[in-house]
Amino acid sequence: MQHVFIVNPFTCKDKTNELIETIQFLCSTLHLDHKIIKTDYVGHATDITKQYKKDTCIYSVGGDGTAYEIANGLQKECSMAIIPAGTSNDFFRMLEVKDKDIHEIIQETIEGKTISIDYGLCNDKVFLNTTTLGLDARVNNMVCELLKKSPLPKFLLYGIAAIVNIFNPQPFEATITVDGKETKISSILIAIMNGKYYGNGFSPTKYADIQDGLFDICIVHTTPIVKMLYLLPKYFKGNTENIKEVSHLHGKDIHIKVNRPVHIQSDGENFMQRELHITLQNKALQLRIPKSAKEFTSL
């Protein structure tokens, strides 16, 4: 098997050279057939990944955005792995690897095992974690725009964008059809979760499972601003099961039609649309995980 490490220097920043040296040392020590490739532009990881057709593990060395690009280029007979070297590592967080530094994680992943996991398709684009509509997607879009012109750190920009949008929630009317069952709603936010986390730790569906063959769907209905401030910490931790302003659904095939174009983000990628079709691909992606990761169903 060939091991291809795709390193995103934009997200790894000053850790880039140290990470490359660690990867090179481990692969040489273990006599692995390997390549280390740095990305140069947005979408480069997808372009690189598409070149490998079989018997290859593609390692994402970066954040969730790098993993998203690799997942969208991954061929059926290849696997992928996550080395959490970015600012947001929500997908890796689900593996529950504890008390390991990045160098130990690299070695444990190289020596790890491969499992089959679910992924989502949103208008034919792969996502690993989540697709969301409404308030939080607008926050993500605003942060991406602010990052282009503001020297402030990303976490501070998220705080600013969240406050601005909470006080301007922009509710929308939608028809959501889950596995053929149609529901009409007035909402400020819809989260379709494959993974358990997004947005650097938000976990609105804390029981989401990347091997159960189902999306966990969280709908926050149109709510007064004061109530939203109360809901936010509960939404963050997934403690919303008994709150009337929040609904939970499960399913594999989701159609959403909205009365106007709304902001949408799919694993951090921003766009605007009035209609979405989202489908789950059950255990269709091969993921290499560290030896100390939580227990999953093996291949």
Print pLDDT tens along the chain (299 aa). Answer: 999 999 999 988 889 999 999 999 999 999 999 999 999 999 999 999 999 999 999 999 999 999 999 999 999 999 999 999 987 789 999 999 988 999 999 999 999 999 999 999 998 899 999 999 999 999 989 988 888 888 888 778 888 888 888 899 999 999 999 999 999 999 999 999 999 998 878 899 999 999 999 999 999 999 998 888 888 889 989 999 889 999 999 999 999 999 999 999 999 889 999 999 999 999 999 999 999 998 887 65
Residues 179 and 104 in one domain: no
Residues 86 and 180 in one domain: no
Domain containing residue 193: CATH number:
2.60.200.40
Residues 132 and 107 in one domain: no
Position 215 in a domain: yes
Residues 170 and 266 in one domain: yes
Q: What is the C-alpha R_g of the chain?
A: 19
Residues 20 and 97 in one domain: yes
Position 135 in a domain: yes
DSSP 211-256: TSS-EEEEEEE---HHHHHHHHHHHHHT--TT-TTEEEEEESEEEE
What pTM value is reported for the model?
A: 0.92
Residues 178 and 234 in one domain: yes
Spatial neighbors of 20 by CB under 8 A, at least 6 apart, are 7, 36, 38
Query: How many domains is the chain partitioned into structurally?
Result: 2
Residues 164 and 43 in one domain: no
Give the whole-angstrom CA distance, residue 19 versus residue 28: 14
Give the whole-angstrom CA distance, residue 64 versus residue 267: 7
Give the whole-angstrom CA distance, residue 280 versus residue 213: 7
Q: What is the amino acid identity at position 182?
A: E
Residue numbers of the domain that contains 87: 2-111
Position 291 in a domain: no
Residues 20 and 95 in one domain: yes
Residues 199 and 81 in one domain: no
Position 154 in a domain: yes
Q: Which tokens belong to 133? A: 């509509």
